[in-house]
Amino acid sequence: MSFIYLWQNREKSHIFSWFWLKQWAKRILYFPKLITVLKTKFLLKIRGTKIGSVSIISNKSRIEGSLHKLTIGDCTFIGQAYLAIHADIRIGSFVVINDGVKLLTASHDVNDPSWSSFAQPIIIDDYAWIATDAIILPGVHIGKGAIVGAGAVVTKNIPEYNIAVGNPAKLLDKQRVQQLKYNPAQLVACYEAWLGKY
């Protein structure tokens, strides 16, 4: 499905022009990476994950648990992350999740004498950016366009367009711009070779 999308939406130029030759050289050069991306998506899909078009998940991500509880929207980029799926993880469209991020849907109740475990969903809305090495704990909802800073540990919901940093994560006084219209998947070389620069 993704390759069909790339073919139908490919950047076109005059045949045998300098730009056309350059395009096809890039497509051939990045074709092995494209195959890896498509294979990773395919393997996740056949195990129950719902993934939108042109989304990318690193084949070096560690994904454990019930894959049918993972939903990813369109044009989302997930780097070398760790996803522990004991409850639903719902990731929107145009989301960026950088390397080293951990999404943890389960933990233990420290106030319970028997130290019982619990699981709660994680929801990440469209255009959110989770920076390198951030940790998102069970039950957290990251609002549309919100940013989680590098290394932050998020224990509470982050409202739309807010920026959270630190351990535990706290909101900054400033907000992110709200007219977001980028496609993070198109910034990845194997997709950019087909779709052109964003």
Average pLDDT taken over every residue of the chain: 93
The Cα–Cα gap between 101 and 82 comes to 6
Give me the DSSP letters along 94-144. Answer: S-EE-TT-EEE-EEE-TTSTT--EEE--EEE-TT-EE-TT-EE-TT-EEPT
pLDDT for 161 equals 97
Sign of dihedral through CA atoms 109, 110, 111, 113?
positive
Q: For residue 1, what pLDDT band results from cuts at 50, 70 and 90? A: low
Mean pLDDT on 31-44: 93
Indicate which residue of 14, 68, 108, 141 is catalytic. 108
Looking at mean pLDDT, say which of 10-14, 41-45, 112-116 comes out highest: 41-45
Closest CA to 67 of 98, 96, 88, 53: 88
For residue 79, give the amino acid letter. G
pLDDT for 190 equals 87
Q: Is the pLDDT of residue 2 over 80?
A: no
Tell me: the pLDDT tens digits for 139-179?
A: 999 999 999 999 999 999 999 999 999 999 999 999 999 99
pTM confidence score? 0.90
The DSSP call for residue 156 is S
Mean pLDDT on 75-87: 96
Angle, CA 9 vertex, CA 6 and CA 14 arms, to 5°: 110
Task: Give me the residues paired with residue 84 across strands.
Answer: 64, 104
Closest CA to 123 of 136, 105, 142: 142
Q: Is the pLDDT of residue 198 over 70?
A: no
The Cα–Cα gap between 31 and 15 comes to 20
14 is catalytic: no
